[in-house]
């Protein structure tokens, strides 16, 4: 009987799969980017995974996130954990606490790679500052209308908090999935090769750019 990650293992190799399974990775945020990214990474062989999010599912989340209408009102991190175990048989860790500058060290302790997929500037700032101080690698991923950005902590600028509380904003599912795929590959390449590339993508003209 073939292994559940049979095709990925053929593509990456058994040594790469063992490494991907061993590195502790934390995703901050279980919304559009974080939830899809968690599912992607687990299906690529990442098993030492933690997800942090205190938010609950709302009906408008269904189009771009991994949750269903039946999940409305439930905690995203817990629902994501349950879905991954049900679908892939992997146990991930989840925290439903809101990450702040006061608890960031506790929540991210032990991580060797942090992914910032938050949608508010205060939490992004806390992750950014902690990563700088602890010297733990951190990849920030974000969306704005037709634009997506993936940037490592060394060159990242925390955005202003203008618009943090705005609920109605344009967001295309195709851009979410495109940025998720790019983030997944950047993460895998960092774990396996130690490489870090910054990428920006614009959906309108399908332009993908990167810098070293």
- Predicted confidence at residue 147, as pLDDT, reads 93
Domain membership flag for residue 82: yes
Instruction: Report the domain count for the chain.
Output: 1
**What does the DSSP assignment read for 168-188?**
---B-HHHHHHHHHHHHHHHH
- Predicted confidence at residue 167, as pLDDT, reads 59
Tens place of pLDDT per residue across the chain (212 aa): 567 999 999 999 999 999 999 999 999 999 999 999 999 999 999 999 999 999 999 999 999 999 999 999 999 999 999 999 999 999 999 999 999 999 999 999 999 999 999 999 999 999 999 999 999 999 999 999 899 999 999 999 998 775 555 556 788 999 999 999 999 999 999 999 999 999 999 998 887 788 76
113 and 139 in contact (C-beta within 8 Å)?
Answer: yes
- Look up tokens 């954990």; give the residue: 81
- Predicted confidence at residue 165, as pLDDT, reads 55
- Predicted confidence at residue 2, as pLDDT, reads 61
Domain membership flag for residue 120: yes
Domain membership flag for residue 11: yes
pTM, two decimal places? 0.94
Residue 160: give its domain's CATH number. 3.40.50.720
Domain membership flag for residue 1: no
16 and 192 in contact (C-beta within 8 Å)?
Answer: yes
* Domain carrying residue 95: 6-55+69-211
132 and 42 in contact (C-beta within 8 Å)?
Answer: no
Domain membership flag for residue 165: yes
Domain membership flag for residue 26: yes
Domain membership flag for residue 60: no
């Amino acid at each position: 009987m073939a292994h559940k990650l049979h095709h990925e293992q053929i593509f990456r190799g058994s040594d790469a799969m063992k490494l991907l399974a061993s590195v502790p990775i934390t995703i901050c945020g279980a919304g559009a980017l974080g939830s899809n990214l968690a599912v992607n990474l687990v299906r690529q062989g990442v098993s030492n995974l933690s997800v942090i999010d205190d938010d609950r599912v709302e009906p408008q989340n269904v189009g771009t996130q991994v949750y269903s209408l039946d999940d409305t009102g439930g905690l995203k991190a817990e629902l994501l954990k349950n879905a991954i175990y049900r679908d892939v048989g992997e146990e991930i860790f989840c925290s439903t606490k809101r990450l702040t500058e006061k608890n960031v060290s506790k929540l991210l302790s032990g991580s060797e790679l942090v992914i910032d997929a938050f949608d508010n500037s205060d939490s992004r700032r806390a992750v950014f500052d902690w990563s700088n101080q602890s010297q733990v690698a951190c990849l920030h991923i974000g969306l704005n209308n037709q634009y997506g950005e993936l940037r490592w902590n060394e060159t990242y600028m925390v955005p202003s908090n203008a618009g943090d509380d705005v609920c109605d904003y344009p967001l295309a599912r195709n851009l979410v999935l495109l940025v998720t795929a790019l983030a997944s590959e950047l993460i895998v390449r960092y774990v396996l090769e130690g490489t870090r590339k910054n990428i920006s993508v614009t959906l309108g003209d399908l332009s993908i750019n990167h810098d070293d």
